[in-house]
Amino acid sequence: MNYNTIEPNKNLSDFIKCYWTLEAEKETNPEKQRIVPDGCMEMIFHYGDFYKQYLVDGSFIIQPKCFVFGQITQPLDIEPTGKTGIFAIRFLPNGFVPFTDFPIHKMENKAVPLIELFGEEASKLEKEVLKAASNEERVKIVEAFFTDLISDSKVIDRITKSSVALILELKGQLTVEELSENLSTNKRQLERKFASVIGVSPKQLSKMIRIQSVLKSLLENKYSNLTDVAYENNFYDQAHFIKEFKEFTGVSPKDFYSENLKLSHLFSEKV
């Protein structure tokens, strides 16, 4: 399995966190891979074979070849159907909305085909990206596409931009009240902005970022026990930590790392 990240051009760094690529040969007995919410929407191009996406009832659907996945608010299980070849754009939490008029609340926990988001321009983009000879070429293609879109006078809402920056800086360890006070912004106004620009509430995003910070620390073996994890990350107690961990991963910390270590190492948010 070969996973890499690529930094975006400076003129897109207010919108895009990074590009990432994943390549792997077909496995005889492929396993489900669990994705944990991180507050970032992603645009995915499968230039390899399709992926299965499992639903809550245990059934599955086949993901589109090219799509944007809306905000993930629960653990997501996927599985390759053959050879993996993925080129993806990971947007900042508030970075995708300026590029489309599609209602963000209709994208939650869904893979939305590009044609529904960008119309006929999506067909051209898909063909160029899928036929590109290298990921460097794919970066050039998507950056030209997004640069044309932002020239249409769309800008990131400054309140949500400042809010996201503070949440990331403090690794999610602050309340909505503290966030509102720091930004001198009314709490209800802030929640409305998040709903329309990010697709999750300030509280939800903070919880996602905090769990991602915990995942990264656990992978780096920074803690010897769960009590230390709870204390260092401002959870009320160990029980609160385990409850929130299960909310976003679907399993206990112990079970998650015994079954999902390889994938979580690749996709845990680099906070």
Q: DSSP state, 108?
A: T
Could you tell me the pLDDT band of residue 260, with boundaries at 50, 70 and 90? Answer: low
pLDDT(264) > 90? no
What is the DSSP annotation of 31-70?
--EEE---S--EEEEESSS-EEEE-TTS-EEEPPSEEEE-
State which amino acid sits at residue 193.
K
Going by pLDDT thresholds of 50, 70 and 90, the confidence category of residue 231 is confident
Check residues 22 and 222 and name the one with the higher pLDDT. Answer: 22
The CA-CA-CA angle for residues 58, 215, 253, to 5°, reads 55
Report the distance separating Cα 156 and Cα 161, nearest Å: 7
The rounded mean pLDDT for the chain is 88
- Partners of residue 20 on adjacent β-strands: 5, 88
At residue 112's C-alpha, the angle toward residues 111 and 115, to 5°, is 145
Q: How far apart are CA 66 and CA 54, in angstroms?
A: 17
Supply the pLDDT for residue 177.
92
Please write the tens of the pLDDT for every residue from 8-52: 999 899 899 999 999 999 999 998 888 999 999 999 999 999 999
∠ CA 49-52-58, nearest 5°, is 165
The one-letter code for the residue type at 202 is P
φ/ψ of 68, rounded to 5, equals -115, 130
CA–CA distance, 209 with 165 (Å, rounded to integer): 11
What structural domains and CATH numbers belong to the chain? 2-150 (2.60.120.10), 158-267 (1.10.10.60)
Q: Tokens 């845990």 — which residue? A: 268
CB 183 within 8 A of CB 163: yes
A 10 A CB-CB count for 232 gives: 14
